[in-house]
Amino acid sequence: MFGTLYTCIAEQHDLRLVALAALLCLFSCFTASNLFLHAADSRSRPRLGWEVAAAMVFGAGVWSTHFVAELAYEPGIPVGYDIGLTSLSIAIAMAVTWAGMVVALRYRMPEIGGAIMGGAVGAMHYVGMAALRMPAVLHWNFSFVGLSLAIGICLAALALHALASGTSLRCRMAGTTLLVLAICGLHFTAMAAVVLEPDSSIAVSGQVMAPELLAIAIAAVTVLIVALGLSSAYVDDQLARRAIIEAERLARRVEERTAELHAAQELLLRQERHSALGELMATVAHELRNPMSAIANTVFTIKQSIAGSGLDLGRPIGRLERSVARCERLINDLVEFSARREIQPRLLGLDVWLEEVLATLQLPDGIALIRRLDAAGKQTRLDVNLMRRAISNIIDNASQALSESEREARDRQIVVSTHLAADRLELRIADNGVGIPAAILPKVFDPLFSTRNFGVGLGLSVVKQIVEQHAGTIAIASVEGKGCTVDIRLPLASAATEPEPIAA
């Protein structure tokens, strides 16, 4: 059997055309495999388009391979091709291949679909052989005929099984190789099954296609295969680009949503923590206020009682009074943070009001307060009591930072400035004290956070709360060892409205 096949290929065919047929078969099978996988990934109408394209490429590739090999066949007598049967052979190849793909894809039976495609190869081959017109009688070895059909059907079934196993390059190459073997194995086994007996009495019809015309037809079909192959490659590239873009978009969307969820979670936790702290602070403030009032009244009574007695208790009583005052401030901070009462804003000229506030502040000796107020005539709405407290807290913090600084007393200064920034008024308080370490800076507005050994860490929390109640923003910038800057931005009110009298 193998000797017969070898003799058929090596001695009865032009090996150059055989090689061309093999290359054409390889290209068409690889293209058909890619189109088949596109059809498998598609749905509804797009799937039908991919199925038809795959059937056309495979059917045309099988037909071209067959007739290129027919042109390579050299029986030693003139050969022509019946036009009708030659056309019927390519129609059979495409139609039956499409039926096989439908079975493989829509009914999920790739092996049976592959067997039908193998049958399409066999039907196309033997119809094409029937299209041969020559002065000879064809004698068939039906054992080889059956073997050729078995080779085509079995290998095509295995090919679609491999393609249905995955979309990797390995699966594509396995499917392509098995399809090529199915086509070539069927063709050359079938060619070995026929023996020509020349008979000059047989007349050849004039309705035949000359080999030259057949070559032109094959070239046209080859162009079709190449065009569909290039189209498939282009679509592959576009789909890959779209998939990459979509994947990147989804990744960004996931990152954005994740960040939003984390931010929302942190906000919720912060609100819950602040709510719990507020309730606790309100309770503590209420419980402390009465005993502190009693202590303050007792200190006053002791002062009245020892007046004129000659006892020198000024220093301990002074310490008691300062401690009571500090405790009163802490209680006020607790109440202010927990109550969050509604503000009562009034329209004021910022520079004029701020000048009045700064004039009432008492700074430690050796600290200079510098004013750079450049927002003359600009107005905003303030709750004067709350905002005065906020400014006082910030300047107290600046004073403490300067007291801890190693600078010479004449160089210690706090600069208070105002200016117009877009549609807002900016109030800046800067000092050249010890500054705030970078690791601590993000925590300065957290309730109960403090770097000092006194106080409860509510000063800046209360300041931030007051500023936000005025629809403003606050930010702190600092370089450790060089100082700290607090920026407060407040909404700019209409300049046409007359400001109310100031009561700082």
Helix (H) or strand (E) holding 103: helix 83-106
Q: What is the pLDDT along the chain (504 residues), one digit of tens a residue?
A: 555 544 555 555 566 777 777 888 888 888 888 888 888 887 766 788 888 888 888 888 888 888 777 776 666 677 778 888 888 998 999 999 999 999 999 889 999 999 999 999 999 999 988 888 888 888 899 999 999 999 999 999 999 999 999 888 899 899 999 999 999 899 889 888 888 888 877 766 655 666 666 666 776 777 676 676 667 666 766 776 787 788 888 888 998 898 888 888 887 876 676 666 666 666 766 677 778 788 888 887 887 777 767 677 777 877 887 777 777 777 776 666 666 667 889 998 999 999 999 998 888 888 889 999 998 888 999 999 889 988 988 988 888 888 887 767 667 899 999 998 878 899 999 998 888 888 888 888 776 656 655 455 567 878 888 898 899 999 999 988 888 999 999 998 864 444 444 444
Is residue 474 helix, strand or coil? strand
* Cβ-contact 403, 364 below 8 angstroms: yes
For the record, the structure tokens of 449 come out as 């956070």
Spatial contact of 96 and 121, defined as CB atoms under 8 Å apart: no
| Whether the Cβ atoms of residue 415 and residue 430 lie closer than 8 Å to each other | yes
The residue type at 202? I
Residue 479's DSSP bridge partners are: 483
Residues contacting residue 347 through CB under 8 Å, at least 6 positions apart: 379, 380, 381, 493, 497, 498, 499, 500
Q: 14: how many CB neighbours lie within 10 A of its CB?
A: 14
Amino acid at site 403: S
**How far is it, in rounded angstroms, from Cα 67 to Cα 328?**
106
Tell me the Cα Rg of the chain.
48
| Residue 407 · residue 414 · CB < 8 Å | no
Q: How far is CA 76 from CA 5, 20, 130, 407, 414, in A?
A: 18, 21, 18, 113, 112
Q: Strand 132-133 relative to strand 80-82: parallel, antiparallel, unpaired? A: antiparallel
Give me the pLDDT at residue 102, please.
92
**CA distance from start to end of the chain:** 115
Neighbours of 394 (CB within 10 A): 23
Instruction: Tell me the C-alpha to C-alpha distance, in Å, between residue 93 and each of 80, 88, 150, 339.
Output: 21, 9, 17, 86
In this prediction, residue 341 carries a pLDDT of 64
Residue 210 has φ and ψ, to the nearest 5°, of: -70, 155
Domain range list for the chain: 2-209, 262-339, 346-491
Res 227: pLDDT: 74
Residue 13's DSSP bridge partners are 73
Distance CA(298)–CA(425), nearest Å, equals 47
Q: Give the pLDDT confidence score for residue 210 in this predicted structure.
A: 64
Which residue, chain included where needed, has tokens 């007739």?
Answer: 67
Within 10 angstroms of residue 392's Cβ, the number of other Cβ atoms is: 16
In a 3-state reduction of DSSP, which class is residue 394?
helix
Q: Which residues contact 425 (CB under 8 A, 6 or more apart)?
A: 350, 375, 378, 380, 418, 419, 489, 490, 491, 492
| Long-range Cβ contact pairs of 398-403 (< 8 A, separation 24 or more) | 398/429, 398/431, 398/433, 398/484, 399/363, 399/364, 399/367, 400/433, 400/452, 401/431, 401/433, 401/434, 401/435, 401/483, 401/484, 402/364, 402/367, 402/431, 402/432, 402/433, 403/364, 403/367, 403/433
Nearest to 189 by CA among 140, 229, 128: 140
How many whole angstroms separate alpha carbon 274 and alpha carbon 284?
Answer: 15
| Pairing relationship of beta strands 413-421 and 368-373 according to DSSP bridges | parallel
Query: Which CATH number describes the domain made up of 346-491?
Result: 3.30.565.10
Longest dimension (CA), the chain: 159
Q: pTM for this structure?
A: 0.50
Residue in 89, 121, 115, 88 with CA at minimum distance from that of residue 100: 115
The single residue listed with the structure tokens 């594509």 is: 172
Contact present, 363 and 399 (Cβ < 8 Å): yes
